[in-house]
Chain A
Amino acid sequence: MNGNQILEVESIYRPSSLPEVSELFSQVRNPDIEFALYAGGTELLQAAKLGFVDARHLVDLKGIDKLHGTVLDTDELIIGATSTYHEVCSSAQVRRSAPAFGTVCAQIANPRVRSVGTLGGNLCFGDPHSDLASFVVACGATVEIWRGDGFISRPLDGFWSGPYQAELGPGDVVTTVHLPVGPDVVVEHTRHGVRERPSVTCTCFVRLEGQNTCEARLALAGATIVPSLSVAFDACALDSIEDSVGIDELAHTVATEFQYSEDLDGPAEFKKQLAATTIGRTVERSRRRVCERQS
């Protein structure tokens, strides 16, 4: 058979708990052994086929119960890192508490990737064209990370130091994603792309307190070097918009904040224009929904 249908894999470890993962890393001190954590493998195995990662020693995380499931905890949806996109968008809990997030997951790649690919894998792989990145950053989501002897919490804003570079150490395991939700939350997400991975995504998160906009954030990904939160966009900026001209001006101002990548999707200057349009549309829809809630 042509193609790379037998990957160079020497061993597959299947820990059933997080301490077992740490034990694996501490016991094997051979510098030639580099463990690769995976669950669905849709990114890792693909990269391994292309020779970009060493997948000789795989650690399959799917057997660890802590990494599964979805729980609503007051104003936070806690989703296990090994939850597949299919599981997320099929979850009644997600449909009730965070329908916009379910929609994002339902649009990722194709049905086959959605059957197998996982939330944790998406975030840890750090593809700059991730569908999820701008959403989780704008919403102020955090991840819980197992780090040898305990758990730490990290915001997803700033989680990536560059393309494909999640800030994780050897043996770190992302266990859960914590997504702020609530009846007072309005989230609008725009995705644009001609290939399976989006060229640009923009997410606007607004939290209302009665008639007031108490919190507003906007994040961009896909066109940028790393998923990034806007500094200029906040509750005041959103409330000060009077008309479509105001939206346009704000969108262009916000678009100048980001660092754009140059790749198959085009040069940086094109991406800035694309971003401005996408931001404008996202803000326009957000503003309309906020006005509806406030009236």
Chain B
Amino acid sequence: MRTTCVVNATGVDIEHEAGETLLSVLRARLGLTGAKLSCDMQVCGVCTVLVDDLPVSSCTLLFADCAGGRIRTVEGLAADGKLHPVQKAFLSYNAFQCGYCTPGQIMTCVALLEHGTHFTYEQVTEYLSGTLCRCTGYLPIRAAAEAARSTAATTSGEK
């Protein structure tokens, strides 16, 4: 079957298997390998991408269900050669080691901050807790997320 949608601001029209997941299309057909396969059951979050501004587990979402949607992956974050503020924060805070979960962590942070910057530290922690990391112990990830939130809040005039 064919599905049409927008991936990282580019319209795509893809011929694919009916039961093919979004993750499979992104990686195998579009060469967007930032999102990774790990648990294959929506638990770990390393396959996180944004569909219509909401984080989804691309490992368990049919690409057919993305028809007409706007998909964003980590590859689409930087603009005009400049890193996204969340990417910059992850670099500043050394919020990765092996890097396998990093695209998922970053997209989760982006999703959170696009819904506002008024979240408490505990709320940020709770939101990020659904994306697992075996390397860092989470503290640098949380620090990066909080720094990105704080910068965004300052920029937008919120506290």
A5 x B59 contact (CB < 8 A): yes
B31 to chain A, nearest CB (A): 13
| Chain B residue contacts of A10, Cβ below 8 A | 18
Smallest CB gap from B130: residue in A: A110
CB distance from B27 to the nearest CB of A (A): 6
User: Does the CB pair A9–B37 fall under 8 Å?
Assistant: no
CB of B42 within 8 A of chain A?
yes
Q: How far is the CB of A200 from chain B (nearest CB, A)?
A: 20
Residues of A near B21 (CB, < 8 A) are 5-7
A-B pairs with beta carbons under 8 A, tally: 91
Q: Tell whether, in the assembled complex, residue A12 and residue B37 are in contact, meaning their CB atoms are under 8 Å apart.
A: no
Say whether, besides A1-B37, A112-B130, A8 and B51 are in contact (CB < 8 Å).
no
Residues of A within 8 A of B19 (CB): 6-9, 55
Interface size of A by CB at 8 A reads: 29
Contact of A46 among B41, B62, B64 (CB under 8 A): B41
B133 shortest CB reach to chain A, Å:
14
* With A9-B18, A111-B130 as contacts: A4 and B61 at CB distance below 8 Å: no
Once the chains bind, are A111 and B108 in contact (CB under 8 Å)?
yes
If A109-B130, A110-B45, A115-B55 touch, does A6 touch B60 (CB 8 Å cutoff)? no
B23 touches A5 (CB 8 A): yes
Which residues on A sit within 8 Å (CB–CB) of B56?
A: 112, 115-116
How far is A6 from B63 in the complex, measured between Cα atoms in Å? 10
Complex interface residues of chain A between 211 and 257 (CB less than 8 A to chain B): none
Partner of A49 from the list B1, B43, B60 (CB cut-off 8 Å) is B60
Bound CA span A165–B40, Å: 25
Chain B residues touching A, range? 35 or more
A268 at the interface (CB under 8 A from B): no
Contacts of A49 in B (CB 8 A): 40-41, 60
Chain A, interface SS category: loop
Which partner residue on chain B sits nearest A3 by CB separation? Answer: B40
* Min CB–CB distance B33 → chain A (angstroms): 10
Q: Is B73 an interface residue (CB 8 A)?
A: no
A59 within 8 A of B: no
Contact A9 B17 (CB under 8 A): yes
**With the chains together, A7 CA to B18 CA distance in Å?**
8
**A49 to B37 alpha-carbon distance, docked (Å):** 14
Q: A103: CB under 8 A from chain B? A: no
Assess A42 versus B60: contact at CB under 8 Å? Given A11-B18, A110-B130, A111-B108: yes
Q: How far is the CA of A8 from the CA of B19 in the complex (A)?
A: 6
Contact B41 A6 (CB under 8 A): no
Known: A9-B17, A86-B54, A111-B108. A1 touches B24 (CB 8 A): yes
Evaluate whether A46 and B42 lie within 8 angstroms (CB atoms) in the complex, with A12-B18, A12-B64, A60-B65 already known: yes
Contact B37 A45 (CB under 8 A): no
B121 at the interface (CB under 8 A from A): no
Closest CB in chain B relative to A111 CB, distance in Å:
5
User: Inside 8 A of B102's CB, which chain A residues have their CB?
Assistant: none
Q: Chain B residue with minimal CB distance to A87? A: B54
Residues of A near B18 (CB, < 8 A) are 9-12
Judge if A2 is at the interface, Cβ distance under 8 Å: yes
CB within 8 Å of B: which A171-211 residues: 196
Residues of B within 8 A of A104 (CB): none
A5 to B42, CA, bound (A): 12
| Interface of chain B residues 18 through 49 with chain A (CB within 8 A) | 18-21, 23-24, 27-28, 37, 40-43, 45, 48
Q: Confirm or deny: B111 has a beta carbon within 8 angstroms of a beta carbon on chain A.
A: yes
Contact with B along A1-39 (1 / 0, CB 8 A): 111111111111000000000000000000000000000
**Which residues of B approach A to under 8 Å, CB–CB?**
1, 17-21, 23-24, 27-28, 37, 40-43, 45, 48, 51, 54-57, 59-62, 64-65, 108, 111-112, 127, 129-131
Known: A1-B27, A5-B21, A12-B18. 6 other contacts (CB 8 A): A5-B23, A49-B60, A110-B131, A111-B127, A113-B42, A116-B61
Show 7 residue pairs from A and B whose CB-CB distance is below 8 angstroms, ordered by the A residue. A3-B40, A9-B18, A110-B131, A111-B55, A112-B48, A112-B55, A196-B43
Closest 3 CB pairs of A and B: A110-B130, A9-B19, A7-B19
